[in-house]
Amino acid sequence: MLSRLCIEQQIPLVNIVRKPDQEAMLRALVPSTSANSTSAGFMAELTGALTATGATLAFDAIGGGRLASQILTAWKPPLAPPRAATADTGRAVYKQVYIYGSLDRGPTELTRSYGTAWASAGGC
């Protein structure tokens, strides 16, 4: 449903999948950028996909685990020269992850390493 809406509205989309056949199926349906969460290079793939699309909004169907945190981390800019005695606050663009699914009923783990311009929220 989201893929169809994005095609209709001409919105670039990043799909996060768990299997190569899912990735192939989505690419056949919609020109999109994707990242396979089981790939050894997942974080590099995700960072590249988010950078290529300029995405600032994410939907997490998994719920528990680290996916929301991994998405927020992938939005963090590459390392820049050190700032004067301040913590890295990340890119100034506000990013949002909406957790709407519960495929993983364990706790959602957020590892705060991605600055302050972000939000995470749950859906119904």
Average confidence score pLDDT of the chain? 81
Render pLDDT for 38-85 as a digit per residue (tens, 0 to 9): 999 999 999 988 988 888 889 888 988 999 999 999 987 654 444 444
Give the residue carrying structure tokens 């990043």: 14
pLDDT of amino acid 85: 40
Q: Could you tell me the residue ranges of all domains in the chain?
A: 1-55, 56-78+88-124
Helix (H) or strand (E) holding 51: helix 42-53
Q: With 70 as the cut, is the pLDDT of residue 93 above it? A: yes
pLDDT of amino acid 65: 92
Give the residue carrying structure tokens 């991605």: 114
Q: How many residues belong to the chain?
A: 124
